[in-house]
Amino acid sequence: MSLVAIAGSGLAELTCARLLASRGHRFRLAPEPATPAGSRPLLLNRPTLDLLDSLWGGGLLDGTWELGHRHVTWGGGPAERFPQPARVVDGTVLAARMRERLGPGHPDGEDPLWTVTAVAPDAAHRQCGRRELLAGTAQLRPGGDERTARLATTALGWVHLTPLGAGRCLAQAMVPGPAADPAALLARLLDQTGSLSVLLLPPRTAVAVPAAPRLHPAPALPPADGTGGLLTVGAGALRCDPLSGTGTAQALRTGILAAAVIDAAAVGTSATALCAHYAARLHGAFQEHLRSCARLYSPAFPDPAWQDELAVPVGGHPHA
Ligand SMILES: Cc1cc2nc3c(=O)[nH]c(=O)nc-3n(C[C@H](O)[C@H](O)[C@H](O)COP(=O)(O)OP(=O)(O)OC[C@H]3O[C@@H](n4cnc5c(N)ncnc54)[C@H](O)[C@@H]3O)c2cc1C
């Protein structure tokens, strides 16, 4: 059975390692990064939670904050509040729990037949647009609803509020290009969408994170001439808009598919054909994501900057 190097501690990489181990392959984990990753809140919807549960068993998400509803006002439509169970987890804590469950893996010594990585150079990607996600934290008004996520739109993009527990809330906004003053723009969009009514104050500081959808055009290279194969998974393989709590599920699916590629190659299926299949599946998922964004965003965001953003062909902006 194959020895596989797992290059990092992303959720997709670790999930791939778990599946490989369950099929009798050996994995080698990279050392933990010298600087521990900071906390990274992720909203996980029910299907994502079910997928995690089926892959890792129960208990992985113990103690995380539970949400019960979502309040949505999209593109001038009526406000709706409906049940939508979800959890807010710290991606860094989740990865640490996965790593603990995996155990130490296989020691150094032999060259791996494959490497699975979630990191790829920016220049490797085909990026579609220049949008950014603004993010900051704020306090909810005392007595406010801490179990309902809120999504609303303005002409310039969507705004999402994710209660984090203990009265704190993550405020995010997706805007169609680089923001000169993320905190000021986030405050303006919170105000325009009426979202400020549930917050004590807008976030004092905010970051702008590159969020344009992007795809690695060559995420799978088969082993050749004594060099091991390379499978790029998770955030390194494709990035989708974090709109509905499914980004992690998408990343996990790349880990599942990568494990299937390695497993099938080990029993004699052509690694070249498997790698081509892997790339085609990711390409299909990416195109589907772009179509969904166009269908949802186009009517909701009349701002010309969004119309330009949505008209950009894949690869139109190298990597802003
Ligand atoms: C702005 C934004 C918001 C998102 N919000 C959500 C959300 O609410 N819900 C959701 O389901 N998905 C969300 N996603 C998607 C989600 O972040 C990823 O899909 C998910 O974390 C899994 O990605 P991954 O497996 O590639 O691992 P990641 O955790 O993204 O890691 C990628 C690689 O980077 C390495 N790495 C990380 N930190 C360090 C460090 N300090 N030093 C060295 N290496 C490091 C990891 O080891 C790994 O190899 C969001 C994405 C973005 C860009």
Digit-coded pLDDT (tens) for 198-208: 999 999 999 99
Among the atoms of ligand 1, which is closest to the Cα of residue 36?
A: 41
- Indicate if ligand 1 lies below 6 Å from the C-beta of 234: yes
Residue with CA at minimum distance from ligand 1 atom 41: 37
Among the atoms of ligand 1, which is closest to the Cα of residue 236?
A: 26
Cα(287)–Cα(304) distance, rounded to whole angstroms?
A: 23
At 48, phi and psi to the nearest 5?
Answer: -70, -40
Residue 319 confidence (pLDDT) above 50 = no
> Residue 313: what pLDDT?
62
> Residue 314: what pLDDT?
58
Pocket test for ligand 1, best of 6, 11, 43, 61 (most atoms within 8 A of CB): 11
Q: What is the mean pLDDT of the chain?
A: 93
Question: Is residue 254 a contact partner of residue 12, using CB atoms and an 8 Å limit?
Answer: yes
Three-state SS across the chain? Answer: CCEEEECCCCHHHHHHHHHHHHCCCEEEECCCCCCCCCCCEEEEEHHHHHHHHHHHCCCCCCCCEEEEEEEEECCCCCCEEEEEEEEEEEHHHHHHHHHHHHCCECCCCCCCCEEEECCCCHHHCEECCCCEEEEEEEEECCCCCCCEEEEEEECCEEEEEEEEECCEEEEEEEECCCCCCHHHHHHHHHHHCCHHHHECCCCCCCEEEECCCEECCCCEECCECCECEEEECHHHHEECCCCCCCHHHHHHHHHHHHHHHHHHHHCCCCHHHHHHHHHHHHHHHHHHHHHHHHHHHHHHCCCHHHHHHHHCCCCCCCCC
Compute the distance from residue 226 Cα to the ligand 1 centre, in Å: 31
Tell me which residue of 283, 254, 270 sits closest to 13, measured CA to CA.
254
Pocket test for ligand 1, best of 6, 16, 35, 42 (most atoms within 8 A of CB): 42
Tell me which residue of 291, 191, 275 sits closest to 232, measured CA to CA.
275
Q: From its phi and psi, is residue 105 left (phi > 0), alpha (psi between -120 and 50) or beta?
A: left
Among the atoms of ligand 1, which is closest to the Cα of residue 250?
A: 19
**In the structure, what pLDDT confidence band is assigned to residue 37 with cuts at 50, 70 and 90?**
confident
**pLDDT tens-place string over residues 59-82:** 999 999 999 999 999 998 999 999
Compute the distance from residue 265 Cα to the ligand 1 centre, in Å: 28
Among the atoms of ligand 1, which is closest to the Cα of residue 38?
A: 41
Pocket test for ligand 1, best of 248, 254, 257, 319 (most atoms within 8 A of CB): 248
Cα(192)–Cα(268) distance, rounded to whole angstroms?
A: 58
- Indicate if ligand 1 lies below 6 Å from the C-beta of 91: yes
**pLDDT tens-place string over residues 72-117:** 999 989 999 999 999 999 999 999 999 999 998 887 778 999 999 9
Compute the distance from residue 76 Cα to the ligand 1 centre, in Å: 32
Cα(30)–Cα(6) distance, rounded to whole angstroms?
A: 6
The answer to whether the pTM exceeds 0.85 is: yes
Tell me which residue of 51, 48, 56, 47 sits closest to 22, measured CA to CA.
56
- Indicate if ligand 1 lies below 6 Å from the C-beta of 241: no
**pLDDT tens-place string over residues 285-317:** 999 999 999 999 999 998 999 988 988 665 554
Residue with CA at minimum distance from ligand 1 atom 18: 248
Q: Which domains does the chain have, with CATH numbers?
A: 3-69+85-127+212-311 (3.50.50.60), 132-210 (3.30.9.10)
